[in-house]
Amino acid sequence: STGPSLTKQLPLLKQYANKATIFCADSAYPILAKHNIKPDYVCMLERDDIVSKCFDNDFKEFDKGILFILASVVHKEVIEFLERNNREYMLVHRPLHFAASLNLKEFGYIGVGASVANMAYELAASLRHENIIFIGQDLAYAKDGSSHPREHIYGNQGEKLRGEVYTLAYGGEKQVRTQLTWNLFRQAFEKDIFWAKEKLKINTYNCTEGGARIEGAIEKPFQEVCETLLKENLKKPFDKPKILEKNKIKNKFLQTQKLLIKNVKQSEEFIKKCQNELKKLDFELSKSQFNSQTLIKIKK
C-alpha cells in the first residue's frame, strides 16, 4: 500500500520480489514500476477518476505478466487506459445489491472492505496464501504530517490533516494521528485478519514498521519476515484465470441483457407510479394550503 513508510521498504521488496506474490494497490503501481518491482496483481476499487490516472502511463514490457483486477464499478477511463496499452485485466463484482441482482454468483464477489488494500487482502486470502505480509499500510500520518510517499501520484499530501483523531501506534507504545476513514479501513482489516486466522489458518504480518497498530496482525521487521518466510523463487508469471468459451460468454451476455431489460422496465413502471402518487400528493397539499389561507382570513 502507499502509506508514507512504503519508500523505506522498496529496496528489500525488490530483493525478494521473485520469492513472493506481490499484491499492489492502484496508487502503488507507478511507484513500483519506477523502481522496477513488478507486482503480480494490481487492484483497483474506487469509482471516480481520482486514482484512474495511476494507469495513464505506458511501462511497455514491464506490464507483461501483470493481472489488473478491477471492481466492476471503477471509472470507465480506467478501462480506456488499460486497453490502450494492451494490459491484461479482469472485472470483479463487489457484493453490492445491484451486482447480486445480476445472478452471476458463480463468478464470486470481492471487495467487501472499503479500501483497495482491504480488497487486496481478500484476494490474497481467497487464493489461500498461508502468510500475508503488509508493507506501506500505515493508516496514519507520518510525523511530518505526510499521508503518502513523495512519489505518490498526488504527492505526499494526498490526504491533508483532518480532525484530531488518534489511535494506538505500531509497536503498541504511543499514539499516532489518523483520520476516521483510515480507522474504518483498519477495523475492516482487523475483522478480516481474525476470520482469516480462525477459518483459514492464515498468518498476517504487519511489516509496515510505522503507522497504526492493526490488531491481530503480527508486528515484525520486514527483513526478518523475508529471511524467515521467503526462501524459494516462484515460477512467474502465474497462471491467469481461464476465459469462458465463446458460446458460454454469449449465453451469459444474453441472460444478463434480458434481466437488465426486465429490471429497467420494472424500474420505469415504478417511477411512473411514484410520479402519479406525487401528483396526487401535490393536489392534496394545494387543497390544504387553500384551506389554511381561508382559515387565516376568517380569523382576521
Residue 238 lies in a domain: no
One domain, residues 144 and 94: yes
According to the model, what pLDDT value does residue 46 have? 87
One domain, residues 252 and 105: no
- How many domains in the chain? 2
One domain, residues 127 and 63: yes
One domain, residues 191 and 286: no
What are the beta bridge partners of residue 42?
Answer: 24, 68
One domain, residues 214 and 177: yes
One domain, residues 249 and 205: no
One domain, residues 49 and 168: yes
Q: Please give the chain's pLDDT, 300 residues, in tens.
A: 999 999 999 999 999 999 999 999 999 999 999 999 999 999 999 888 888 999 999 999 999 999 999 999 999 999 999 999 999 999 999 998 889 889 899 999 998 888 999 999 999 999 999 999 999 999 999 998 899 888 887 765 556 666 789 999 999 999 999 999 999 999 999 999 999 999 999 999 999 999 999 999 999 999 999 999 999 999 999 999 998 999 999 999 999 999 999 999 999 999 999 999 998 888 877 877 666 666 566 555
Residue 117 lies in a domain: yes
One domain, residues 111 and 49: yes
One domain, residues 192 and 256: no
Residue 27 lies in a domain: yes
Residue 239 lies in a domain: no
Range of the domain at 221: 6-229
According to the model, what pLDDT value does residue 10 have? 97
Residue 234 lies in a domain: no
The model's pLDDT over 187-222, given as tens digits with 9 standing for 90+, comes to 999 999 999 999 999 999 999 999 999 999 999 999
